[in-house]
Amino acid sequence: KLNRIQLNIAFQCVMKKFNDKNEDIIVRKSSAESIVSIAVKLSEAQLNDASKCLVDGLNDEQEDEFREDCADSINELLIKLNRIDENTLSLRESLEAALTIFEERQFNDTFMLLFNKFKDADSIESDCVQCLRVFLQKSNDQQVNSAFKVLANGLKGKNGHIRYLYAYVIGEIAWKLNEKQIEEVFEYLLFDRDHIPFLNLYLDDMDDTIKNFNDKQLYLFTKYYSQILKKNNKAVEILLAMSKDMWRRVIMYIKEKEKRKLIDKKCTQQNQLNGNKEMNNLNDIHMEILALFLW
């Protein structure tokens, strides 16, 4: 076990190795790991030096793998700091901010690299398409949101093959999309054969899927999907599931509306009454349109 003087000497040695860009890359990677292990046992000043050193490594001009190793070392340092000292909040916040910027840059670079190859793909089985699919499925919500803006825009194109590719990838990450994004996809889709990959996402477990749609999504899904139902062998099954869920929603809607009427009668304040009516009008629009499909 090293004493404090020996730890300090070792720390200076590994810092020197890490910062030497002429040093072998394997040695520099090992130094990053050693910096974390030693720094947490030394003073606050040396801990700050170690943190700055690793953050600088995120922008190192050497290979990507080295920068990723620096990111891993920062994550390890954050774990250790959370365990040993509550007075390092400022340092932890700066490290987390640096990691966030690094991860965003890495995501953007990787996404654009895959996306540029994806646009020239021959089919959805192409390696570049599958790589983009896997990459986005492993991405966090914020990253998916950024990628979605690019992919959704591709649905507006005139090239049927390109729309087919975009629809496929969006379908593969649909479970990561929020309500607004799903609605946006429904409104963008032309609902021809080019977008069947996206729509097929909903065929395997139609009952559960429809129950998870909000009223606007169910309305849009019914409105557009009905145009190609006649081309699908599951048409009867899909229509039955939709009809069943629509009736359930309309009944609940009518019950809720009657309940609101009773509440309105008891309201004595005109402002509250007007406010409720305005809110009701906003919430009722898509349900009333949806109900039309049942007659």
pLDDT for the residue 195? 46
Whole-number mean pLDDT of the chain? 76
User: How do the domains of the chain map onto residue ranges?
Assistant: 4-109
* pTM value > 0.75: no
pLDDT for the residue 233? 57
Nearest Cα to Cα of residue 114 among 103, 129, 102, 100 = 129
Nearest Cα to Cα of residue 26 among 60, 65, 57, 55 = 65
CA distance 30 to 35: 9
CA distance 214 to 179: 8
Distance of CA 208 to the CA centre of its chain: 22
The pLDDT tens digits of the residues spanning 200-229 come to 544 444 555 556 667 776 676 666 666 555
> Predicted confidence band at 10 (pLDDT cuts at 50, 70, 90)?
very high
